[in-house]
């Protein structure tokens, strides 16, 4: 697992390859022929470093056992909601946070800088993990996030990504900035996409929920309930769509983990969860995480959970 923060060892979690685009074209020859002979038609054309670093914290993350909760109720890459969107999703905004950045490996001094997460100081970001073959968690998280954006935009939602890596964002953003992006967008839901990096044999997904935290700039009292609702919906839809089981190494088989040590959750004022889609260090999970087809299912499952949470 490697999210905006550290992974919990074998009991921890760490807390994405470019999308393929389809397009059509009509050749000049076919167009010319169409003028002379309307029966002619044009055809169409179709057009993944090394081992990941550990936690963003030297000490193991604290995992808080879930307690029953009642559900109450400028950023990069913003998108406009679909024109004429109506119904319960109209005017709603979702912020998607692709875990880590592929450039973090080259900017270790920058991401090692400590930032305030309300309750203590933590590293700005971490590199994230990789599969044994070198496929980066950051590649995975960005790819799934882009696919997720496409699905949500088709539903009429406005979608903001915290970053898209590349030259515009060679490293980061820091965990406090990631939280701020969701807050400033007044997001109706925020989801941080990750994959874990624990030992082989540990498999499955889990969703990380915010604990009730108050300290400095952190106060999660208002988002604990709705975040649990969001996380439960995402977990159940993700399991159904991908066929994945809840993690067998934490969460007691529920696929849900509550944590109080993640800046991305502690500093959020909007309903927010992390999803660890699988374990990159397990060969069976890695085979899924490196599959474009499976990543599309992952994006769909997460999207279905978000839409259900928003009443769509």
Q: Show which residues are catalytic.
A: 276
**CA gap 298, 253 in Å, rounded:** 19
Angle at 175 between CA 169 and CA 179, to 5 degrees: 100
Q: How many CB atoms within 10 Å of residue 38?
A: 8
Q: How many helices (H) and strands (E) does the chain have?
A: 8, 11
Long-range CB pairs of 296-300, under 8 A, 24+ apart, other chains included: 296/147, 297/241, 297/242, 297/243, 298/144, 298/147, 298/238, 298/241, 298/242, 299/144, 299/145, 299/147, 299/148, 299/150, 299/151, 300/151, 300/241
| Cβ neighbourhood burial of 252 (10 Å; 0-12, 13-18, 19+) | exposed
How many angstroms separate the CA atoms of 153 and 142, rounded?
16
What is the residue whose two structure tokens read 């979702």?
Answer: 94
**What is the H or E stretch that residue 272 is in?**
strand 272-279
């Amino acid at each position: 697992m490697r999210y905006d923060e550290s992974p919990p060892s074998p009991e921890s979690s760490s807390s994405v390859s470019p999308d393929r685009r389809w397009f059509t074209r009509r050749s000049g020859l076919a167009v010319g022929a169409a003028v002379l002979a309307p029966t002619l038609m044009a055809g169409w054309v179709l057009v993944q470093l090394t081992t990941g670093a550990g936690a963003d914290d030297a000490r193991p993350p604290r995992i808080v056992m879930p307690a029953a909760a009642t559900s109450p109720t400028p950023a990069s890459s913003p998108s406009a909601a679909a024109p004429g969107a109506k119904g319960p999703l109209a005017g709603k905004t979702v912020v998607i946070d692709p875990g880590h950045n592929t450039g973090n490996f080259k900017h270790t001094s920058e991401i090692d800088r400590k930032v305030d997460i309300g309750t203590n100081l933590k590293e700005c970001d971490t590199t994230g993990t990789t599969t044994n073959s070198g496929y980066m968690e950051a590649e995975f998280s960005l790819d799934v996030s882009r696919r997720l954006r496409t699905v949500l935009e088709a539903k009429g939602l406005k979608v903001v990504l915290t970053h898209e890596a590349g030259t515009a964002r060679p490293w980061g953003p820091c965990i406090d900035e990631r939280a701020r992006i969701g807050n400033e967008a007044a997001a109706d839901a925020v989801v941080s996409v990750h994959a874990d990096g624990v030992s082989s044999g540990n498999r499955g997904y889990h969703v990380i929920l915010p604990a009730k935290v108050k300290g400095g700039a952190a106060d999660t009292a208002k988002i604990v309930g709705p975040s649990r609702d969001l996380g439960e919906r995402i977990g159940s839809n993700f399991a159904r769509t991908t066929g994945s089981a809840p993690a067998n190494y934490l969460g007691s088989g529920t696929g849900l983990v509550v944590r109080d040590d993640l800046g991305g959750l502690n500093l959020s004022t909007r309903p927010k969860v992390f999803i660890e889609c699988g374990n990159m260090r397990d060969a069976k999970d890695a085979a899924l995480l490196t599959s474009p087809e499976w990543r599309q299912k992952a994006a769909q499952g997460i999207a279905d959970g978000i839409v259900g949470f928003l009443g769509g």
